Structure formats: structure tokens, C-alpha cells
């Protein structure tokens, strides 16, 4: 397991400042927030990004997130897939190995939508493979279908493409219908990325992304999740992902320090590498 921080934790900070400040907090792996990267590239080049990565000695292993691929139609579908194509090219050119894709299936859903979803996932995985990138499907706790880990694992298994796997977001795991027992469906083959956060003193039914807090300070059974990761010898990245406006007010350099302390504390060591 390798600790990382997501740029969404410092939404108000620009792309280049995140790299500098997170690196100062001993973070050497950053989950890219794609809109930040795209904003930076409006006035800079890919070589500028590579230079920043080299200067601060950080890697960008994962990018988040892509939506609108699964059941959209017409102009909305063309726009989503065009954006996905461009983002895959960015990932390929910057060595970003995994792109997180939302399982954003809103109701009502019929059998045709389910079949369209499977076809879209297969298409996304194949297109990603052409760019040497993997797709990590993130189940969404409020989705009509694909709102829990077990269903997401079943969808990935049904498509059965080596470039399609699971993104396990602890928040969606906790507030949705997933059960701790569902963690048994995870393997080192189907789990592509993990995002940690916590939630305190809030009923699951009313929890929102804005209430996410640092892992270890709340009620989510993170110990069970981390134990399962160790059991399957998960060797990918584990990032902190907080969409909390209060956290966004914290300077990126300060968050880099406290964020890395939190994620390393959850993983049980200052640096956990694959054996």
C-alpha cells in the first residue's frame, strides 16, 4: 500500500502549488483532480507539468474523476466521451496509470440502461487500454444501481476486462448499503484504487461529501478496510479524498503535512511498499 493525497482536499489551491506544498509535507504521490490539471494546461504545457513533477519529486499515479459515460445519450454522451478521450491522452502522456470513473447511474433505470452500462464500461476499458491506462469504477452511494461495493464488483466481473477495476471510496462504502462482509469480494486483481475519509456524529442517511473529515477521527470502519487491503496484499495507492469546504480553507502546505500523517497512521507505518 502506498499513501497519497488527492488534490480535491485543497480545492482553492492551484495545481502547481499543490505539487510544491504536498511535496513539502513528504507526499510523493498525488491523486490528480482533473479540472485542476486542465486549468493549469490552459497556460502551460505538458513539459511544464513534467518539470514540476521532477522538481518536487512527485508522481501522479491516479486521476479523478470522469462522469457521464455510462447511460448518457445524444449530445451529452458525445461530449462526455470526447472529454474522456482527451483525458486519457493526458493520462498517457503524463504517466498517470489509473482514471477514476463514477458509477453515476441515476434513476429510473431499466434493463436497457443496464445493458448500455455494461457496453459503456467495456468501451471505456478498451479505450483506456489503447492509452495504457486503467479505469477504476467508483460506486456512488446515492446511485440507483451500482451504489455498493458488491454490485460494483459484480459489474466489473461481468465486463471482465483487465483494464477495468474498482475504486473503493470509504465514504460511499459507509453511507451506502455496503456491508463490511462485502470487503471479501476485493482482490489485488480487481481493486485499482482506494480513497479514505471519515465521518463523525452524522446519520448515514443525511451524510454529504462536505462532511468528510480526516481518516481516523470518525465512525467509518476504516480498520476493517485497511485489514482487508493487507490481507489481499494490495499494492496500489491509498489516497485521502476530502470534499469539505472547511478543509479547503487550510493551506495546502499545512494539509500536506496533516494529511500524510493521517494516511500513514491509518496504514500503520510511515511507508508501506509492496513486497
Residue 223 lies in a domain: yes
* Residue 270 confidence class, pLDDT cut points 50, 70, 90: very low
For the cut 70, the answer to whether the pLDDT of residue 275 exceeds it is no
- pLDDT tens readout for residues 45-89: 999 999 999 999 999 999 999 999 999 999 999 999 999 999 999
- Whole-prediction pTM: 0.94
Residue 272 lies in a domain: no
Do residues 146 and 169 lie in contact, with contact meaning Cβ atoms separated by under 8 Å? no
Residue 207 lies in a domain: yes
Range of 74's domain? 2-267
Mean local confidence (pLDDT), 93-106: 96
Residue 274 lies in a domain: no
Residue 79 lies in a domain: yes
* Residue 36 confidence class, pLDDT cut points 50, 70, 90: very high
- pLDDT tens readout for residues 112-147: 999 999 999 999 999 999 999 999 999 999 999 999
Residue 102 lies in a domain: yes
Residue 9 lies in a domain: yes
The total number of structural domains in the chain stands at 1
Q: What is the CATH number of the domain that holds 231?
A: 3.20.20.150
Residue 142 lies in a domain: yes
- pLDDT tens readout for residues 157-201: 999 999 999 999 999 999 999 999 999 999 999 999 999 999 999
Amino acid at each position: 500500500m502506498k499513501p497519497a493525497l488527492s488534490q480535491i482536499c485543497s480545492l482553492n489551491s492551484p495545481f502547481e502549488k499543490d505539487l510544491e506544498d504536498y511535496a513539502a509535507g513528504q507526499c510523493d504521490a498525488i491523486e490528480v483532480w482533473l479540472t485542476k490539471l486542465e486549468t493549469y494546461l490552459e497556460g502551460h504545457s505538458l513539459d511544464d507539468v513534467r518539470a514540476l513533477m521532477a522538481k518536487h519529486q512527485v508522481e501522479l499515479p491516479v486521476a479523478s474523476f470522469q462522469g457521464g459515460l455510462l447511460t448518457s445519450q445524444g449530445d451529452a454522451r458525445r461530449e462526455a466521451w470526447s472529454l474522456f478521450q482527451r483525458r486519457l491522452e493526458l493520462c498517457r502522456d503524463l504517466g498517470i496509470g489509473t482514471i477514476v470513473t463514477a458509477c453515476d447511474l441515476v434513476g429510473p433505470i431499466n434493463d436497457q440502461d443496464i445493458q448500455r452500462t455494461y457496453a459503456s464500461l467495456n468501451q471505456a476499458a478498451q479505450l483506456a487500454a489503447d492509452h495504457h491506462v486503467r479505469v477504476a469504477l467508483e460506486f456512488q452511494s446515492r446511485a440507483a444501481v451500482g451504489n455498493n461495493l458488491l454490485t460494483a464488483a459484480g459489474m466489473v466481473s461481468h465486463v471482465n476486462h483487465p483494464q477495468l477495476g474498482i475504486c473503493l471510496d470509504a465514504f460511499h462504502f459507509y453511507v451506502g448499503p455496503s456491508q463490511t462482509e462485502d470487503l471479501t469480494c476485493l482482490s489485488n486483481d480487481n481493486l485499482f484504487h482506494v480513497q479514505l475519509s471519515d465521518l463523525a456524529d452524522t446519520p448515514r442517511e443525511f451524510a454529504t461529501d462536505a462532511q468528510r473529515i480526516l481518516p481516523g477521527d470518525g465512525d467509518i470502519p476504516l480498520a476493517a478496510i485497511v485489514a482487508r487491503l493487507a490481507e489481499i496484499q494490495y499494492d496500489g495507492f491509498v489516497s485521502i479524498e476530502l470534499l469539505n469546504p472547511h478543509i479547503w480553507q487550510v493551506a495546502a502546505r499545512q494539509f500536506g503535512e496533516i494529511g500524510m500523517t493521517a494516511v500513514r497512521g491509518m496504514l500503520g507505518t510511515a511507508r508501506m511498499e509492496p513486497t
